[in-house]
């Protein structure tokens, strides 16, 4: 193998490794989102709960970030599941289910439910979701 061919081959390997590193850096919270999806709240997997709320026809956007409320603790992650839901009368509602995930203890808790940007609280959010299902 010539030196030119060898250097070309090495260059391709470096490019592939750099691309894989870039892909991994793009999703630093993927494991946190997966942990929240698998965790249970009130006896139901969070992913199943959110999917049931969204319905089959609606898309769910999962996202996560460090929680600004705890700037000194990088182990607490804020995870959101956002969706749009159309009621029977044609109104579109934006629903966001918010979770807190602790990387150290691996515990997940339901933080809040937002409907059209308004905090519903946990109990109010459950009632609002029930009403949306009945609409």
User: Are the beta carbons of 50 and 39 closer than 8 angstroms?
Assistant: no
pLDDT band at residue 22 using 50, 70 and 90 as cut-offs: very low
> Domain residues of the chain, as ranges?
28-134
Please count the other Cβ atoms lying within 10 Å of the Cβ belonging to residue 61: 10
Q: Which residue has the higher pLDDT, 23 or 31?
A: 31
User: Rounded mean pLDDT of the chain?
Assistant: 80
In eight-state DSSP terms, residue 66 is E
Q: Which residue has the higher pLDDT, 98 or 89?
A: 98
- For residue 20 the two structure tokens come to 């894989």
- When pLDDT is averaged across residues 107-118 and rounded to a whole number, the result is 90
Q: Report pTM.
A: 0.71
User: Are the beta carbons of 81 and 97 closer than 8 angstroms?
Assistant: yes
CB-based contacts of 94-99 (< 8 A; 24+ apart in sequence): 95/53, 95/54, 95/129, 95/132, 97/46, 97/49, 97/50, 97/53, 97/125, 99/36, 99/39, 99/46
Position 19 scores a pLDDT of 44
User: What's the CA gap between 79 and 93, in Å, rounded?
Assistant: 20
């Amino acid at each position: 193998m010539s030196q030119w061919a060898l250097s070309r081959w090495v260059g391709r390997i470096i490019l592939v490794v750099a691309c894989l590193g870039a892909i991994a850096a793009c999703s630093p919270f993927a494991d946190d989102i997966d942990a929240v999806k698998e965790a249970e709240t009130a006896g139901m997997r969070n992913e199943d709960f959110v999917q049931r709320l969204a319905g089959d026809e609606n898309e769910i956007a999962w996202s996560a970030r460090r929680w600004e409320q705890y700037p000194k603790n990088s182990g607490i992650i804020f995870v959101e599941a956002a969706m749009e839901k159309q009621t029977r009368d044609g109104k579109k509602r934006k629903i966001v289910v918010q979770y807190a995930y602790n990387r150290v203890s691996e515990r997940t808790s339901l933080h809040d439910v937002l409907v059209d940007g308004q905090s519903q609280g946990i109990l109010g959010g459950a009632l609002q979701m029930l009403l949306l299902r009945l609409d």
